[in-house]
């Protein structure tokens, strides 16, 4: 019986700890806004999430044919760090780079299924950004903005 309780309790406690960590990151980390690109106007929403790429306002070139670990420094200055030297960088996003494409795990935004058609038509030809809480290496998407308005307003 004790093994059954442990088998149920450990995954539940792990999920609770992860949820609390993300909530603390959302509430205590500085917030940044990034323009997004790469969504397909013919199929903006694949399932119940929007797929995109963040347009960092910095050079994101890296070696060809080789994955490298990178850190996208966003405060107090913007730059891509490939050598692990974080001197002067207060907030950054961990990721990998391959052929000038940065994978930062911030490429999906989930939306309710009933809002999908409205958002799809609202985003066509408009500027979209995301608000992101950024800590030291970790980042969580807070909101999707279309022409400065939250997706919830559509």
Q: Which helix (H) or strand (E) holds 11?
A: helix 2-28
- Which pLDDT band, with edges at 50, 70 and 90, does 143 fall under? very high
Percentage of residues in the chain having pLDDT higher than 90: 19
In this prediction, residue 41 carries a pLDDT of 46
In this prediction, residue 39 carries a pLDDT of 62
The pLDDT tens digits for 101-113 are 888 888 888 888 7
Pairing of strands 128-134, 68-75: unpaired
3-state secondary structure of 149: strand
- Do residues 52 and 35 touch, judged by C-beta distance below 8 A? no
In this prediction, residue 40 carries a pLDDT of 55
- Which pLDDT band, with edges at 50, 70 and 90, does 115 fall under? confident
- Do residues 60 and 100 touch, judged by C-beta distance below 8 A? yes
In this prediction, residue 150 carries a pLDDT of 93
Which residue's entry shows tokens 């406690």? Answer: 13
The pLDDT tens digits for 7-57 are 898 999 999 998 888 787 777 788 989 998 876 544 555 556 777 888 887
**Is the confidence at residue 120, as pLDDT, over 50?**
yes
How many CB atoms neighbour CB 70 within 10 A? 23
In this prediction, residue 46 carries a pLDDT of 53
State mean pLDDT over 139-153.
Answer: 91
Which residue's entry shows tokens 């891509």? Answer: 80
């Amino acid at each position: 019986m004790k093994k059954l309780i442990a088998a149920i309790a450990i995954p539940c406690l792990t999920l609770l700890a992860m949820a609390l960590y993300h909530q603390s990151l959302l509430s205590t980390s500085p917030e940044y806004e990034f323009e997004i690109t790469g969504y397909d106007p013919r199929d903006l929403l694949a399932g119940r999430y929007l797929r995109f790429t963040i347009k960092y306002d910095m050079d994101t070139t890296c070696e060809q044919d080789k994955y490298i670990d990178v850190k996208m420094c966003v405060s107090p200055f913007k730059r891509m760090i490939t050598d692990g030297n974080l001197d002067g960088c207060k907030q950054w996003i961990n990721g990998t780079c391959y052929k000038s494409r940065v994978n930062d795990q911030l490429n999906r935004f989930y939306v309710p299924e009933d809002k999908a058609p409205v958002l799809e038509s609202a985003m066509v030809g408009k500027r979209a950004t995301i608000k992101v809480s950024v800590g030291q290496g970790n980042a969580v998407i807070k909101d999707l903005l279309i022409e400065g308005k939250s997706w919830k307003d559509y």
